[in-house]
Amino acid sequence: MSQQNPLEILVIGAGPAGLSVAAEATYHGFKSVLVLEKGADHNQTVRQYYPEEKRVDASYKGQEAICAGVFCFRDTTKKGFLEHVDRLMRSYAFPFAYSAHVDSIKRHSDGLFSVTGSDGTQYVAEHVVIAVGRMGKPNRPDFFSQIPPAVRKEVRFDLQNINPEGKRILIVGGGNTAVEFALSLTPKAEVSLSYRKKEFTRLNPMNKHLLEGDETQGRLKVLRGTNITAVGEKNGKPLAIFAEREEMQFDHIVFAIGGSSPTAFLQNAGIELDDRKNPKLNEWLETNVPNLFVAGELSVPQGKGSIIVSFNSGQTIVEGIMRKLGRSRNPQIVSFVPLP
């Protein structure tokens, strides 16, 4: 395949990892960089799954939040994080194509990639970075299809369009997202948190402290060691049916039980996966397909990601590309963006 002016780097996904790749590439002198985003704006996961009151944490599970590249931030609010990223994007000024859903990636014999969108648009690039994350496809409980249609709209995977005032809400899950959902609702709603294990072992220190405080003070009911086997309907409201305890009625039930890797998309691009369905990567996050990279959440085992990890993966990938090209660092002058 040939094209007179292929893109140097094409990035798929405008979350923390994708934006970091584009910023690092721009900072180090790459002239033709494009970010494709299937949504209408950057950081769709933060916009969709984070309630307004939810903190956006730099660290995760006590990991020290050390920034390796040009993108960095401190713990802040959802609004503060998005405003900070907006400022960073204005500083580096790389181009975007929004509402651009990618169907396929193909590497040709001359080493160039053709990336085809669902609308038929084709992009040609020398290097491609997949930075799509996991949360775009939230995990659903096995019984989801059996939930009565009358209450299915009240069974959610995020807090969007939920008015919590005076409502009874059940959050299901034991990770940071589930706990943060629950904590953000306690000032306005009667909140229960169901976790299948007896102890929370995956929380960062701040969430663990806040969870224990809200539980001790009676603001949050924590249902440890509980497994929901079905969701029924009673008087027009969802009914949580547990294996270990009596059923409970709620106004809303929110499952925050993680997301799944876009396995088929990766495999169709020729990427080899390990036995846990994670892409096999070298130290520069390059796949077995030369010049095809994976950034962010998909570059680490499930549950090990964080926004700082995603930001840092951009620096790793761009350094790897420069090494392959035999290029030395050539930073461009950009405006300093203070941390929020």
Q: Domain limits of the chain? A: 7-136+259-325, 144-255
Instruction: Please state whether the predicted TM-score (pTM) of the whole model is above 0.85.
Output: no
Look at residue 177 in the predicted model and tell me its pLDDT. Answer: 85
* Cβ contacts of 174 within 8 Å, gap of 6 or more: 195, 196, 197, 200, 201, 202
Give the alpha-carbon dihedral of 247, 253, 258, 264, to 10 degrees.
Answer: 100
103 — pLDDT class (breaks 50, 70, 90): confident
The dihedrals phi and psi of 88, each to the nearest 5 degrees, come to -60, -45
Contact of 223 with 195, CB cutoff 8 Å: yes
Top-level class of domain 144-255: alpha beta
Lowest-pLDDT range, 101-115, 131-145, 248-262?
Answer: 131-145
The dihedrals phi and psi of 334, each to the nearest 5 degrees, come to -130, 160
Look at residue 337 in the predicted model and tell me its pLDDT. Answer: 44
Look at residue 334 in the predicted model and tell me its pLDDT. Answer: 46
58 — pLDDT class (breaks 50, 70, 90): low
Tokens of 248: 């409970």
Tokens of 31: 């002239």
62 — pLDDT class (breaks 50, 70, 90): low
Start-to-end C-alpha separation, the chain: 45
Residue whose pair of structure tokens reads 């547990």 in the numeric block: 242
Look at residue 42 in the predicted model and tell me its pLDDT. Answer: 86
**Which has more confidence, 315 or 88?**
315
DSSP, collapsed to helix, strand or coil, labels residue 20 as helix
Look at residue 338 in the predicted model and tell me its pLDDT. Answer: 47
Look at residue 193 in the predicted model and tell me its pLDDT. Answer: 98
Domain 7-136+259-325 and domain 144-255 have a common topology = yes
* Cβ contacts of 322 within 8 Å, gap of 6 or more: 28, 328, 329
DSSP 210-229: HHHHHHHTTSEEEEET--EE
| Amino acid symbol at 144 | F
79 — pLDDT class (breaks 50, 70, 90): confident
99 — pLDDT class (breaks 50, 70, 90): confident
Rounded Cα gap, residues 185 and 204, in angstroms: 19
pLDDT in tens, 157-200: 888 789 999 999 999 999 988 998 999 999 999 999 999 999 99
Tokens of 247: 């059923």
For 163, other C-beta atoms within 10 Å of its C-beta total 10
Tokens of 46: 């933060």
Rounded Cα gap, residues 287 and 298, in angstroms: 12
CATH number corresponding to 7-136+259-325: 3.50.50.60
What residues does 7 pair with on adjacent strands? 125
pLDDT at 223 over 90: yes
Stretch 21-41: mean pLDDT, rounded? 92
